[in-house]
Chain A
Amino acid sequence: MLPEPELDDLYRDIILDHYRQPRNRGKLPKADLSGEGYNPLCGDEVTLQLIVDNGKVRQVMFEGRGCSISQASTSMMTEIIKGKTIAEVREMIELFKAMMTKDQPAAPELGDLEALEGVRKFPVRVKCATLAWNVLQDILKEVKSKK
């Protein structure tokens, strides 16, 4: 019977919830920052748009097609970065990537994203979980150069 213990580590309720009802999904009429990412392994696509106001993420939206892990990770990411400063967002990216790729336990700052920790047990899926985060990291590079 599903879910097996192992599968259950991957498909936590909160992940399935974000997958079925993604937050901040859609398109902004105008954005300060935007970028897209593509995972050639499985064809996952993510487009991110950000509005930055006074050094803070005021609005964020995403579009994309992909598996439950990539879509849920993106949805949860948009929720957690909204209202944070660019510096805080960068810190968040570091913490998230450390959890996914360096075997570090979930930092408390990551909140619900802790649910994605189990993805680590499924190495091929790590790229699904980090896709949107890489896009975010990329587009934030522009912020530095603008200053």
Chain B
Amino acid sequence: MINAQKLRQDFPILSRQIHGQPLVYLDNAATTQKPRAVIEALKRYYETTNANIHRGVHTLSEEATDQYEDVRAKVAQFINAPEHDPSQILFTRNATEAINLVARAWGGENLKPGDEILLTVMEHHSNLIPWYLIAKEKGARTVFVDIDEQGFLRMEEFKKKLTSRTKIVAVTHASNVLGTINPVAEIGKLAHDAGTLFLVDGAQSVPHLPMDVQKIGADFLAFSAHKMLGPTGVGVLYGRKELLEAMPPFLGGGEMISKVTLGEAAWNEVPWKYEAGTPNIADVIAFGAALDYLQEIGMETVQKHEQELVSYALRVLSALEEIVLYGPAKPEQRTGVVSFNVGTIHPHDISQILDSRGIAIRAGHHCAQPLMRRLNVVATARASFYLYNTPQEIDLLVEALKEARKFFGHVARTRT
């Protein structure tokens, strides 16, 4: 059980006032807040250890290298990478860059004209555009699996569209709009039985549930540190070792080479082959503190807490007049993301009213325009929860939504 009230004290920003009212932060699918331990790790690094890594033969450089590489090992363990081998963990700028890396490095080498990339209509733009770009370049095609009325993938359609032309299946583990948790283990098995690779976009799942890349059969897994209490500017790509060893580099520069002559170069070993230039050392090290924080609580506990919140939210929100809720009805089939619309009020207007009461939600298309079109809406409002949120905050959300209805519903209103 999470004692959210107690835990909130670890997050300095949560004591902030917005427009004179306590901050109610419900935009965690966009980014999460940072505990003091992460902020202090960042500060400590710059105050005591700052140096460039891997090259310097001096104490600071060795310490910084050790701390940076320790986090790689922590990540390998966190997602249960095979043999917890850290060389399968690459640091990028964010999940988007991690997917671009696979599309460029793997796709650039392996995709041929007529090959297919199997995606779904619920993907975030970050798991669409990298594929559009490489498909266009290589003459490959992108193919999409639809969702049903509840927001689940149509698995029969998936099976039909998974053919000998499919070279990679790239699917989000959890929708950033619907909250739907996709059956990734099943998809992974189907993909492998069909002889194709499987990339999982874990941006909305790794922060919220126990992750086991071996259990779900992911060949690649991408996620972002800032959505799981860590700093911005750090993404992770897990890749099966033999794939990473076979793929060509993504970016060229320092660190990623073993030998350079005039006009030629040999590549460094994985994972460093993929980390050209000075990486985001400080933020990676602070990400380690975020992983420690989450592990201390336990990801099963985190997931349970979010399910309780989402269960409560679905119950109280569905009682509101004119509300339309998107995504699966059962809390256990989703993450802590609740998208909705209220009557004809545009989500921007909802969000504005909520902000005036200190409540932060997201309004818009959530970088998932194909899904918006599929749902036949221009935008939705989205509340998303994390381990520090409480049912009281959901009550405040509901009260504010009632006010928004009143505000935009009444015809005449005198200016005070």
Q: Which residues on B sit within 8 Å (CB–CB) of A122?
A: 352
Nearest-neighbour CB distance to chain B for A19, whole angstroms, equals 8
Q: Which residues on A sit within 8 Å (CB–CB) of B363?
A: 42
Distance in angstroms between the alpha carbons of A43 and B372 in the assembled complex: 9
Distance in angstroms between the alpha carbons of A68 and B352 in the assembled complex: 11
Distance in angstroms between the alpha carbons of A128 and B347 in the assembled complex: 13
Distance in angstroms between the alpha carbons of A128 and B378 in the assembled complex: 14
Contact of B352 among A10, A12, A16, A40 (CB under 8 A): A10
Nearest-neighbour CB distance to chain A for B201, whole angstroms, equals 21
Spot the interface stretch: B72-80, B232-240, B288-296, B407-415.
B407-415
Distance in angstroms between the alpha carbons of A96 and B364 in the assembled complex: 26
Given contacts A6-B19, A13-B413, whether A45 and B378 have CB atoms under 8 Å apart is: yes
Contact at A42–B346, with CB atoms within 8 Å? Answer: yes
B40 contacts A by Cβ under 8 Å = no
Most chain A Cβ neighbours within 10 Å, of B348, B352, B416? B348
A20 contacts B by Cβ under 8 Å = yes
Most chain A Cβ neighbours within 10 Å, of B347, B365, B378, B379? B378
CB interface residues, A 107-123, toward B, < 8 Å = 122
| Complex interface bits, A28-60 against B, C-beta within 8 A gives 1, otherwise 0 | 000000000000111111000000000000000
Given contacts A12-B415, A43-B378, whether A3 and B364 have CB atoms under 8 Å apart is: no
A125 contacts B by Cβ under 8 Å = yes
Contact at A42–B348, with CB atoms within 8 Å? Answer: yes
B403 contacts A by Cβ under 8 Å = yes
Distance in angstroms between the alpha carbons of A71 and B109 in the assembled complex: 48
| Complex interface bits, A3-14 against B, C-beta within 8 A gives 1, otherwise 0 | 110111011110
Distance in angstroms between the alpha carbons of A6 and B363 in the assembled complex: 20
Q: Which residues on B sit within 8 Å (CB–CB) of A43?
A: 364-365, 369, 372, 378-379
Contact of B346 among A2, A10, A13, A66 (CB under 8 A): A66
A67 contacts B by Cβ under 8 Å = yes
Q: Which residues on B sit within 8 Å (CB–CB) of A128?
A: 348
Interface residues contributed by chain B, number (CB under 8 Å): 24
Given contacts A11-B407, A20-B411, A43-B365, whether A4 and B352 have CB atoms under 8 Å apart is: no
Contact at A68–B346, with CB atoms within 8 Å? Answer: yes
> For the complex, would chain A's binding face be called helix, strand, loop or mixed by DSSP majority?
mixed
Q: Which residues on A sit within 8 Å (CB–CB) of B416?
A: 3, 8
Contact at B348–A2, with CB atoms within 8 Å? Answer: no
Closest to A71 in B: B346
Nearest-neighbour CB distance to chain B for A113, whole angstroms, equals 17
CB interface residues, B 362-397, toward A, < 8 Å = 363-365, 369, 372, 378-379
A27 contacts B by Cβ under 8 Å = no
CB interface residues, B 150-165, toward A, < 8 Å = none
Contact of A16 among B347, B364, B403, B413 (CB under 8 A): B413
Closest to B403 in A: A2
Contact at B356–A6, with CB atoms within 8 Å? Answer: yes
Distance in angstroms between the alpha carbons of A64 and B268 in the assembled complex: 54
B353 contacts A by Cβ under 8 Å = yes
Closest to B379 in A: A43
Distance in angstroms between the alpha carbons of A6 and B358 in the assembled complex: 13
| Complex interface bits, B2-33 against A, C-beta within 8 A gives 1, otherwise 0 | 00000000000000000100000000000000
Contact at A4–B19, with CB atoms within 8 Å? Answer: yes
Distance in angstroms between the alpha carbons of A4 and B355 in the assembled complex: 11
Contact at B415–A13, with CB atoms within 8 Å? Answer: yes
Distance in angstroms between the alpha carbons of A12 and B348 in the assembled complex: 16
Q: 4 other contacts beyond A42-B378, A44-B378, A45-B378, with CB at 8 A cut-off? A: A11-B407, A13-B413, A43-B369, A67-B348
9 contacts between A and B (CB under 8 A): A2-B356, A10-B352, A12-B415, A42-B378, A42-B379, A43-B369, A43-B378, A68-B408, A125-B352
- Which A-B residue pairs are the 6 nearest by beta carbons? A43-B378, A67-B346, A67-B348, A43-B379, A7-B356, A65-B378
